[in-house]
Amino acid sequence: MKRLLRYVIYRELYRAMRGTNKDTTDSEKANVRQTIDELDVERLPSAGESLESPEQVKAVLQQMDPFAFERLVADLWQRMGWTTEIPQHGPDEGVDVIAKKSIPYDQTTLIQAKRYGPNTTIGSPEIQQYASLKRQYDNVDKVVMVTTNTFTGQAVEMADRLNV
* 76 assigned to some structural domain: no
Q: Quote the pTM value.
A: 0.67
Same domain flag for 93 and 135: yes
Residue 30: which pLDDT band, with cuts at 50, 70 and 90? low
Residues 94, 130: Cα–Cα separation, whole Å = 7
State whether 92 and 48 are in the same domain: no
Structural domain containing residue 93 = 83-164
Average pLDDT over residues 46-69: 77
Domain count for the chain, please give it: 2
What does the DSSP assignment read for 41-61?
TTTSPPTT----SHHHHHHHH
Instruction: Give the per-residue pLDDT at 20.
Output: 45
Question: Which among 46, 109, 122 is positioned nearest to 76, based on CA atoms?
Answer: 109
30 and 99 both lie in a single domain: no
How many Å is the Cα radius of gyration of the chain? Answer: 16
CATH of the domain at 145: 3.40.1350.10
Whether 91 and 140 share a structural domain: yes
Residue 108 pLDDT > 70, yes or no? yes
Residue 23 has pLDDT above 60, yes or no: no
On whether residue 73 sits in a domain, the answer given is no
